[in-house]
Amino acid sequence: MSEIGGFALVLHSHLPWLPHHGTWPVGEEWLYQAWAHSYLPLVDMLRRLEDDGYRDVLTLGVTPVLAAQMDDPYALRGMHDWLGNWNLRAQYAAVRWRGDDPRLREVAAAEYRASATALTEFETRWRHGFSPVLRPLVDGGVVELIGGPATHPFQPLLDPRVRAFALTLGLDDTALRVGHRPEGIWAPECGYAPGIEDDYSAAGVRRFLVDGPALHGDTAFARPVGNSDVMCFGRDLEVTYRVWSPKAGYPGDTAYRDFHTYDHPSGLKPSRVTGRHVAPHDKKPYEPALAADAVRRHAQDFVDTVAQRLRDLNERHGRPGLVVAAYDTELYGHWWHEGPAWLEAVLRGLPKAGVNVTTLRGAIDAGYVGDPADLPASSWGSGKDWRVWDGAQVADLVEANAALQRDLLDLVDTLGGPARDATLDQAAREALLALSSDWAFMVTKDSAADYARRRAKVHFERYAELSSLLRAGAPTRAAARAADLRRSDGVFGGLDARALRTHE
């Protein structure tokens, strides 16, 4: 069967820095849930595909701040404890539901099997962190790894010096962990400002993602941006939204496991969606066979949708085109329990339909490249502009972040010496953590907004404390406080604040 065009799946794996910053309902628990239900199954799937001879399976974005957490000894211990607790909760549910509906007992048994498998996998393959697990998949050409700025800041709102510093730090950190410096990035929130491609080019970045509307929906080819040699890829929303859109998508099917309905004594999720307007206590027990049927149906629908889209593009352009479907990794498994099974069925089914499954790098090599494009200021957020991160609801955060950047740059320019300074490094580290795009997103979307505001405030105040001590001529006290802060916020050990300076 001749190939009808290319398909590039891009997964964006990201969580803000969470160790030592709360546990439940938002905090470390967020990390451990995504780790258990998304990252472990994804790696397991990729290993199976590798064993079956698949290469260039997908483009995997892993933000430096997420990779750092999954290599962190404290988080590794916490994750091991969490998996053990998951196993105990499943055993408790089996006893609690002993005389209930047999479908509930099967839920408990399935959770016990899944937690036991995850524990074994974690103890045998993950005990030294994520990087040793990820590197063979990158070395073997199973995935293309893309990175990003260190703490996932919304780049259009950064001072150019801070922007370059965060990006270079993130790319260097990935190279240190995995042995490959990414040539592609998932720009945080797909945030773009005209001219940012020049920064990318200077940092060695050759390709990045934008949302489809930034290209007016013309996403059939990678396109050089402006006069640069940097390529942008646009998400094909016509295809992407088959899976998940602001209003609909496969995970809402009545047979899939309901994300929001808990059995609170055990912490398990025993119900299926049942119906959009069905109250939690009226939802029916989860049935794996029904969910498996839905996975097969939706995987085939997606394969058919991609194939038809590529035939349409071929007819329109007179040559094979490309479909880019891009999602948060955490959708698969954490939010959508059946997502990993659906992913594997799709990745196995597309080649049989004549689709060239490839990576962003592979798409360029295959010639899915179009004419240069001039991009507008954009993001993948509401309105496809910057309102989520620069709107009225977060105006105070935007103002505080701008002031923080000005103070940071002045601090390193006026007080920094020729030698590396661990106190200045920690001040820069706290500043980058305060600048994470997650805080504004969570506030605007009213998703754990109190936690987000508290986190932004904590890091801003920690930065301000170090800056004040240094400016007051108290370097000994500043150094002691910086050492204390590193115990909880010691991410990116290679961070060197001297790189922020405008002079040697």
Residues 197-228 have pLDDT tens digits of 999 999 999 999 999 999 999 999 999 999 99
Same domain, 342 and 412: no
Residue 22: phi and psi, rounded to 5, are 85, 165
The pLDDT of residue 25 is 85
Is 390 designated active site?
Answer: no
Q: Tell me if 124 is assigned to some domain.
A: no
Q: Cα 12 vs. chain centroid, distance in angstroms?
A: 4
Q: Which of 172, 183, 218, 328 is catalytic?
A: 328
Q: What is the pTM of this model?
A: 0.96
Q: Which of 189, 199, 253, 430 is catalytic?
A: 189
Q: Tell me if 424 is assigned to some domain.
A: yes
The pLDDT of residue 34 is 98
Same domain, 375 and 488: no
Domain boundary among 356, 382, 408: 382
Q: Summarize the confidence of residues 1-5 as an average pLDDT.
A: 81
Q: Tell me if 119 is assigned to some domain.
A: no
Domain boundary among 359, 382, 405: 382
Q: Which two tokens stand for residue 91?
A: 């055993």
The pLDDT of residue 56 is 98
Same domain, 297 and 432: no
Reported as a pLDDT band with limits 50, 70 and 90, residue 379 is very high
Same domain, 206 and 271: yes
Q: Are 156 and 121 in contact (CB under 8 A)?
A: no
Tell me, what CATH number does 140's domain have? 3.20.110.10
Closest CA to 239 of 1, 30, 417, 6: 6
Dmax over CA atoms of the chain, in Å, equals 73
Same domain, 345 and 397: no
Q: Summarize the confidence of residues 143-161 as an average pLDDT.
A: 98
Q: Summarize the confidence of residues 434-449 as an average pLDDT.
A: 97
The pLDDT of residue 503 is 55
Range of the domain at 149: 5-71+131-382
Q: Summarize the confidence of residues 493-498 as an average pLDDT.
A: 97
Same domain, 33 and 10: yes
Same domain, 374 and 414: no
Q: Tell me if 219 is assigned to some domain.
A: yes
Residue 239: phi and psi, rounded to 5, are -90, -45
Q: Tell me if 213 is assigned to some domain.
A: yes
Residue 424's SS3 state is: helix
Same domain, 198 and 301: yes
Q: Which two tokens stand for residue 166?
A: 């965060």
**Residue percentage of the chain with pLDDT more than 90:** 96
Tell me, what CATH number does 488's domain have? 1.20.1430.10
Q: Tell me if 97 is assigned to some domain.
A: no
CA–CA separation, 375 vs 158, rounded Å?
19
Give the H or E element holding residue 451. helix 449-471
The pLDDT of residue 340 is 98
Same domain, 160 and 273: yes
Domain boundary among 382, 400, 418: 382
Same domain, 351 and 478: no
For 52-97, what is each residue's pLDDT tens digit?
999 999 999 999 999 999 999 999 999 999 999 999 999 999 999 9
Q: Summarize the confidence of residues 152-165 as an average pLDDT.
A: 98
Domain count, the chain: 2
Is 328 designated active site?
Answer: yes
Residues in the chain, overall count: 504
Task: Give the strand pairing for 223-224 and 231-234.
Answer: antiparallel
Same domain, 421 and 368: no
The pLDDT of residue 1 is 55
Q: Tell me if 113 is assigned to some domain.
A: no
> Which residues have a Cβ under 8 Å from the Cβ of 385 and sit 6 or more positions away?
377, 378, 379
Same domain, 476 and 343: no
Q: Summarize the confidence of residues 277-288 as an average pLDDT.
A: 95
The CB-side HSE value for 441 (13 A sphere, CA atoms) comes to: 18
Q: Tell me if 370 is assigned to some domain.
A: yes
> Which residues have a Cβ under 8 Å from the Cβ of 225 and sit 6 or more positions away?
197, 231, 232, 372, 373, 374, 375
Q: Tokens 């400002």 identify what position?
A: 193
For 398-422, what is each residue's pLDDT tens digit?
999 999 999 999 999 999 899 999 9
